Amino acid sequence: MNKHRILITRATFDEVVTDLRRNFDVEMGGDDPCLPEELRRRAARADVLMVWGDRIDAALLDAAPQLVAVCNMMVGYNNIDIAACTERGILATNTPGVLDDTTADMAWALLLAAARRVTESERWLRAGHWKGVRFAEPLGRDVHHATLGILGMGRIGRAVARRARGFDMPVIYHNRSRLDAGLERECNARHVSLEELLAESDFLSLNLPYSTDSHHLIGAKELARMKPTAIIVNTARGGIIDDAALIDALASKRIAGAGLDVFEGEPDFNRSFLALDNVALAPHMGSATFATRMAMARLAAENARAALGGERPPCLINPEAWERRRFR
Protein backbone atom coordinates (compact mmCIF):
# COMPACT_ATOMS: atom_id res chain seq x y z
CA MET A 1 0.00 0.00 0.00
CA ASN A 2 1.40 3.38 -1.01
CA LYS A 3 1.91 5.95 1.68
CA HIS A 4 0.11 9.26 1.55
CA ARG A 5 2.37 12.01 0.24
CA ILE A 6 3.04 15.28 2.12
CA LEU A 7 4.82 18.16 0.43
CA ILE A 8 6.36 20.62 2.91
CA THR A 9 7.05 23.64 0.74
CA ARG A 10 9.81 25.17 2.89
CA ALA A 11 12.59 23.77 5.02
CA THR A 12 11.48 23.06 8.58
CA PHE A 13 12.74 21.19 11.63
CA ASP A 14 14.27 17.75 11.09
CA GLU A 15 12.41 16.39 14.13
CA VAL A 16 9.04 17.22 12.59
CA VAL A 17 9.97 15.76 9.19
CA THR A 18 11.42 12.58 10.72
CA ASP A 19 8.26 12.07 12.75
CA LEU A 20 6.03 12.47 9.69
CA ARG A 21 8.17 10.10 7.63
CA ARG A 22 7.28 7.24 9.97
CA ASN A 23 3.85 7.15 8.35
CA PHE A 24 4.00 9.27 5.20
CA ASP A 25 6.07 9.91 2.11
CA VAL A 26 7.43 13.40 2.80
CA GLU A 27 9.14 15.81 0.41
CA MET A 28 10.56 19.05 1.78
CA GLY A 29 11.55 22.20 -0.06
CA GLY A 30 14.39 24.58 0.68
CA ASP A 31 14.63 27.87 2.51
CA ASP A 32 13.36 29.95 -0.40
CA PRO A 33 9.91 29.80 -2.00
CA CYS A 34 9.36 27.90 -5.24
CA LEU A 35 8.24 29.68 -8.37
CA PRO A 36 4.51 29.11 -8.99
CA GLU A 37 5.12 26.71 -11.91
CA GLU A 38 7.56 24.65 -9.87
CA LEU A 39 5.20 24.55 -6.88
CA ARG A 40 2.34 23.35 -9.11
CA ARG A 41 4.58 20.62 -10.53
CA ARG A 42 5.67 19.43 -7.10
CA ALA A 43 2.14 19.57 -5.69
CA ALA A 44 0.67 17.43 -8.48
CA ARG A 45 1.12 14.15 -6.55
CA ALA A 46 0.65 15.53 -3.03
CA ASP A 47 -2.16 14.52 -0.67
CA VAL A 48 -1.32 17.33 1.76
CA LEU A 49 0.57 20.57 1.41
CA MET A 50 2.26 22.04 4.48
CA VAL A 51 2.98 25.61 3.45
CA TRP A 52 4.77 28.65 4.84
CA GLY A 53 3.13 31.66 3.24
CA ASP A 54 3.20 30.20 -0.28
CA ARG A 55 0.36 31.41 -2.51
CA ILE A 56 -2.20 28.62 -2.84
CA ASP A 57 -4.66 29.60 -5.57
CA ALA A 58 -7.21 27.87 -7.77
CA ALA A 59 -4.63 27.09 -10.47
CA LEU A 60 -2.43 25.25 -7.99
CA LEU A 61 -5.38 23.37 -6.49
CA ASP A 62 -6.47 22.24 -9.97
CA ALA A 63 -2.94 20.96 -10.60
CA ALA A 64 -3.17 18.75 -7.47
CA PRO A 65 -6.15 16.42 -8.10
CA GLN A 66 -5.57 14.21 -5.06
CA LEU A 67 -5.04 17.03 -2.58
CA VAL A 68 -6.87 16.54 0.72
CA ALA A 69 -5.65 19.48 2.80
CA VAL A 70 -3.56 22.64 2.80
CA CYS A 71 -1.96 23.10 6.21
CA ASN A 72 -0.58 26.58 6.77
CA MET A 73 2.36 26.68 9.18
CA MET A 74 1.23 30.12 10.38
CA VAL A 75 -1.86 31.72 11.86
CA GLY A 76 -2.68 34.12 9.01
CA TYR A 77 -4.05 32.55 5.87
CA ASN A 78 -4.53 35.30 3.32
CA ASN A 79 -2.02 33.37 1.17
CA ILE A 80 -4.67 30.65 0.65
CA ASP A 81 -7.76 30.96 -1.54
CA ILE A 82 -10.12 29.55 1.07
CA ALA A 83 -13.18 29.73 -1.18
CA ALA A 84 -11.39 27.72 -3.87
CA CYS A 85 -10.36 25.11 -1.29
CA THR A 86 -13.91 24.81 0.03
CA GLU A 87 -15.38 24.51 -3.46
CA ARG A 88 -13.08 21.56 -4.14
CA GLY A 89 -13.57 19.86 -0.77
CA ILE A 90 -10.00 20.61 0.31
CA LEU A 91 -9.51 21.26 4.02
CA ALA A 92 -7.53 24.36 5.01
CA THR A 93 -5.89 24.73 8.42
CA ASN A 94 -3.69 27.17 10.31
CA THR A 95 -1.80 27.36 13.62
CA PRO A 96 -3.63 29.70 16.02
CA GLY A 97 -2.76 30.14 19.67
CA VAL A 98 0.86 28.97 19.64
CA LEU A 99 2.43 32.27 18.58
CA ASP A 100 0.38 34.88 20.46
CA ASP A 101 2.87 35.71 23.20
CA THR A 102 5.90 35.58 20.92
CA THR A 103 4.32 37.97 18.42
CA ALA A 104 3.24 40.27 21.26
CA ASP A 105 6.85 40.31 22.47
CA MET A 106 7.95 41.34 18.99
CA ALA A 107 5.41 44.18 18.92
CA TRP A 108 6.91 45.47 22.14
CA ALA A 109 10.47 45.05 20.82
CA LEU A 110 9.61 47.26 17.83
CA LEU A 111 7.65 49.72 19.96
CA LEU A 112 10.58 50.20 22.32
CA ALA A 113 13.13 50.30 19.50
CA ALA A 114 11.18 53.01 17.69
CA ALA A 115 10.46 54.98 20.87
CA ARG A 116 14.09 55.02 22.04
CA ARG A 117 15.60 55.26 18.53
CA VAL A 118 17.59 52.07 19.10
CA THR A 119 18.13 51.00 15.49
CA GLU A 120 18.96 54.53 14.37
CA SER A 121 21.46 54.93 17.21
CA GLU A 122 23.05 51.56 16.54
CA ARG A 123 23.65 52.49 12.90
CA TRP A 124 25.21 55.78 14.06
CA LEU A 125 27.44 53.97 16.55
CA ARG A 126 28.54 51.31 14.03
CA ALA A 127 29.42 54.07 11.55
CA GLY A 128 31.98 55.39 14.06
CA HIS A 129 30.26 58.67 14.91
CA TRP A 130 30.16 58.23 18.70
CA LYS A 131 32.67 60.55 20.35
CA GLY A 132 30.95 60.87 23.71
CA VAL A 133 27.55 61.12 25.36
CA ARG A 134 25.54 64.16 24.34
CA PHE A 135 22.96 65.66 26.67
CA ALA A 136 20.39 66.74 24.09
CA GLU A 137 20.62 64.00 21.46
CA PRO A 138 19.58 61.47 20.43
CA LEU A 139 16.37 61.85 22.44
CA GLY A 140 13.59 59.31 22.26
CA ARG A 141 10.09 59.18 23.70
CA ASP A 142 8.98 57.79 27.05
CA VAL A 143 6.87 54.67 26.91
CA HIS A 144 5.82 54.58 30.56
CA HIS A 145 2.52 56.35 31.30
CA ALA A 146 1.91 56.96 27.57
CA THR A 147 -1.37 55.84 25.98
CA LEU A 148 -1.22 52.54 24.11
CA GLY A 149 -3.80 52.08 21.38
CA ILE A 150 -4.54 48.64 19.96
CA LEU A 151 -6.33 48.08 16.66
CA GLY A 152 -7.55 44.50 16.71
CA MET A 153 -8.14 42.96 20.13
CA GLY A 154 -7.90 39.27 19.39
CA ARG A 155 -5.51 36.93 21.18
CA ILE A 156 -2.37 38.78 20.08
CA GLY A 157 -3.87 42.21 20.73
CA ARG A 158 -4.83 41.16 24.24
CA ALA A 159 -1.31 39.81 24.84
CA VAL A 160 0.10 43.18 23.77
CA ALA A 161 -2.33 44.95 26.11
CA ARG A 162 -1.43 42.80 29.12
CA ARG A 163 2.23 43.73 28.74
CA ALA A 164 1.35 47.43 29.02
CA ARG A 165 0.68 47.02 32.76
CA GLY A 166 4.42 46.91 33.40
CA PHE A 167 4.76 50.37 31.86
CA ASP A 168 1.75 51.86 33.69
CA MET A 169 0.12 52.68 30.36
CA PRO A 170 -3.58 53.39 29.87
CA VAL A 171 -4.83 51.13 27.06
CA ILE A 172 -7.51 51.96 24.52
CA TYR A 173 -8.63 49.69 21.72
CA HIS A 174 -10.87 49.40 18.70
CA ASN A 175 -12.26 46.09 17.49
CA ARG A 176 -15.04 44.89 15.21
CA SER A 177 -16.88 43.81 18.35
CA ARG A 178 -16.33 45.03 21.87
CA LEU A 179 -14.77 42.66 24.38
CA ASP A 180 -16.85 41.47 27.28
CA ALA A 181 -16.35 43.28 30.58
CA GLY A 182 -14.16 40.54 32.03
CA LEU A 183 -11.66 40.66 29.17
CA GLU A 184 -11.61 44.46 29.28
CA ARG A 185 -10.70 44.29 32.98
CA GLU A 186 -8.06 41.65 32.30
CA CYS A 187 -6.48 43.89 29.65
CA ASN A 188 -7.13 47.13 31.56
CA ALA A 189 -8.49 48.43 28.26
CA ARG A 190 -11.20 50.87 27.20
CA HIS A 191 -13.12 50.52 23.94
CA VAL A 192 -13.16 53.59 21.66
CA SER A 193 -14.07 54.47 18.09
CA LEU A 194 -11.41 54.23 15.40
CA GLU A 195 -11.29 58.02 15.19
CA GLU A 196 -10.68 58.30 18.93
CA LEU A 197 -8.09 55.55 18.82
CA LEU A 198 -6.11 57.41 16.16
CA ALA A 199 -6.35 60.77 17.92
CA GLU A 200 -5.49 59.59 21.47
CA SER A 201 -2.80 56.94 20.97
CA ASP A 202 0.80 57.76 21.74
CA PHE A 203 1.68 54.28 20.49
CA LEU A 204 -0.62 52.41 18.11
CA SER A 205 -0.20 48.65 17.68
CA LEU A 206 -1.90 46.90 14.75
CA ASN A 207 -2.98 43.36 15.60
CA LEU A 208 -5.81 42.54 13.20
CA PRO A 209 -5.98 40.03 10.33
CA TYR A 210 -5.58 41.16 6.76
CA SER A 211 -8.68 41.06 4.54
CA THR A 212 -10.29 43.12 1.82
CA ASP A 213 -11.99 45.08 4.61
CA SER A 214 -8.69 45.89 6.34
CA HIS A 215 -6.72 46.68 3.17
CA HIS A 216 -5.19 50.16 3.61
CA LEU A 217 -7.26 50.66 6.74
CA ILE A 218 -4.47 52.98 7.82
CA GLY A 219 -3.84 55.45 5.01
CA ALA A 220 -3.00 59.11 4.63
CA LYS A 221 -6.27 60.28 6.16
CA GLU A 222 -5.88 58.08 9.23
CA LEU A 223 -2.21 58.97 9.71
CA ALA A 224 -3.14 62.66 9.59
CA ARG A 225 -5.45 62.12 12.57
CA MET A 226 -2.63 60.80 14.74
CA LYS A 227 -0.50 62.91 17.05
CA PRO A 228 2.72 64.23 15.50
CA THR A 229 4.48 62.55 18.44
CA ALA A 230 2.80 59.16 17.83
CA ILE A 231 4.51 55.92 16.86
CA ILE A 232 2.76 53.14 14.91
CA VAL A 233 3.72 49.46 15.15
CA ASN A 234 2.64 46.74 12.72
CA THR A 235 3.29 43.06 13.45
CA ALA A 236 0.04 41.93 11.81
CA ARG A 237 0.13 41.88 8.01
CA GLY A 238 1.38 44.03 5.18
CA GLY A 239 -1.37 45.87 3.34
CA ILE A 240 -3.21 47.00 6.46
CA ILE A 241 -1.10 50.15 6.23
CA ASP A 242 -0.73 52.04 2.96
CA ASP A 243 3.07 51.90 2.94
CA ALA A 244 3.47 54.81 0.54
CA ALA A 245 1.31 57.01 2.78
CA LEU A 246 3.28 55.90 5.85
CA ILE A 247 6.60 56.71 4.19
CA ASP A 248 5.28 60.18 3.35
CA ALA A 249 4.05 60.69 6.95
CA LEU A 250 7.38 59.57 8.41
CA ALA A 251 9.46 61.62 5.99
CA SER A 252 7.44 64.77 6.67
CA LYS A 253 7.36 64.07 10.44
CA ARG A 254 3.54 64.05 10.50
CA ILE A 255 4.06 61.14 12.91
CA ALA A 256 7.18 60.55 14.95
CA GLY A 257 8.05 57.00 14.05
CA ALA A 258 7.13 53.42 13.24
CA GLY A 259 8.15 49.87 14.03
CA LEU A 260 7.41 47.45 11.19
CA ASP A 261 7.70 43.69 10.90
CA VAL A 262 5.43 43.37 7.84
CA PHE A 263 5.14 45.19 4.53
CA GLU A 264 3.12 45.37 1.36
CA GLY A 265 4.47 43.07 -1.34
CA GLU A 266 7.08 41.52 0.92
CA PRO A 267 9.82 40.57 0.45
CA ASP A 268 9.78 43.19 -2.34
CA PHE A 269 8.93 45.96 0.12
CA ASN A 270 9.13 49.69 -0.60
CA ARG A 271 12.84 50.50 -0.34
CA SER A 272 12.05 54.13 0.57
CA PHE A 273 11.76 52.90 4.16
CA LEU A 274 15.53 52.35 4.15
CA ALA A 275 16.21 56.07 3.77
CA LEU A 276 14.25 56.91 6.93
CA ASP A 277 15.86 57.10 10.37
CA ASN A 278 12.56 57.17 12.28
CA VAL A 279 11.48 53.62 11.54
CA ALA A 280 12.63 50.31 13.08
CA LEU A 281 12.46 47.49 10.51
CA ALA A 282 12.35 43.71 10.81
CA PRO A 283 11.91 41.01 8.12
CA HIS A 284 8.56 39.45 9.17
CA MET A 285 9.98 37.63 12.19
CA GLY A 286 7.24 38.13 14.79
CA SER A 287 6.97 34.41 15.53
CA ALA A 288 10.67 33.67 15.03
CA THR A 289 11.75 31.90 18.19
CA PHE A 290 12.77 28.27 18.25
CA ALA A 291 10.01 27.19 20.61
CA THR A 292 7.25 28.99 18.74
CA ARG A 293 8.27 27.96 15.23
CA MET A 294 8.61 24.38 16.45
CA ALA A 295 5.10 24.54 17.93
CA MET A 296 3.78 25.95 14.65
CA ALA A 297 5.38 23.16 12.62
CA ARG A 298 4.12 20.48 15.00
CA LEU A 299 0.57 21.86 14.94
CA ALA A 300 0.60 21.97 11.13
CA ALA A 301 1.80 18.35 11.14
CA GLU A 302 -1.00 17.43 13.57
CA ASN A 303 -3.53 19.02 11.21
CA ALA A 304 -2.04 17.04 8.31
CA ARG A 305 -2.18 13.74 10.18
CA ALA A 306 -5.80 14.31 11.14
CA ALA A 307 -6.83 15.14 7.57
CA LEU A 308 -5.12 12.05 6.18
CA GLY A 309 -6.59 9.90 8.94
CA GLY A 310 -10.12 10.94 8.07
CA GLU A 311 -10.42 13.01 11.24
CA ARG A 312 -11.44 16.65 11.51
CA PRO A 313 -8.23 18.72 11.91
CA PRO A 314 -8.04 20.67 15.18
CA CYS A 315 -7.50 24.02 13.41
CA LEU A 316 -9.88 23.78 10.47
CA ILE A 317 -10.45 27.17 8.81
CA ASN A 318 -13.18 26.13 6.37
CA PRO A 319 -15.60 23.79 8.17
CA GLU A 320 -17.90 24.01 5.13
CA ALA A 321 -15.40 21.79 3.31
CA TRP A 322 -15.69 18.98 5.85
CA GLU A 323 -18.77 17.39 4.25
CA ARG A 324 -17.26 17.83 0.80
CA ARG A 325 -13.84 16.47 1.71
CA ARG A 326 -12.09 14.24 -0.78
CA PHE A 327 -10.78 11.68 1.71
CA ARG A 328 -13.19 9.81 3.97
Residue 215 among the catalytic residues: no
Q: Please report which residue ranges of the chain form alpha helices under DSSP H.
A: 14-21, 36-43, 58-62, 82-87, 100-115, 118-126, 155-163, 181-187, 194-200, 220-224, 243-251, 290-308
Residue type, 142: D
Does the annotation count 325 as an active-site position? no
- Provide φ and ψ at 97, rounded to 5°: 90, -30
Residue from 88, 163, 284, 293 carrying the catalytic annotation: 284
Q: Quick one: which of 216, 282, 271, 227 has its CA closest to 249?
A: 227
β-sheet with 25-28: strand ranges across? 25-28, 5-8, 48-51, 69-72, 91-93
Please indicate whether residue 284 is annotated as part of the active site: yes
User: Exactly one of 27, 87, 200, 266 is catalytic; which is it?
Assistant: 266
Strands 231-234 and 203-206: parallel
- Paired strand residues for 5: 25
Q: What is the secondary structure of 277-288 as a DSSP string?
A: SSEEE-SS-TT-
- Residue 137 CA to residue 123 CA, distance in Å, equals 15
Contact 290, 31 (CB under 8 A): no
Catalytic residue among 158, 163, 237, 293: 237
Name the residues annotated as catalytic.
237, 266, 284
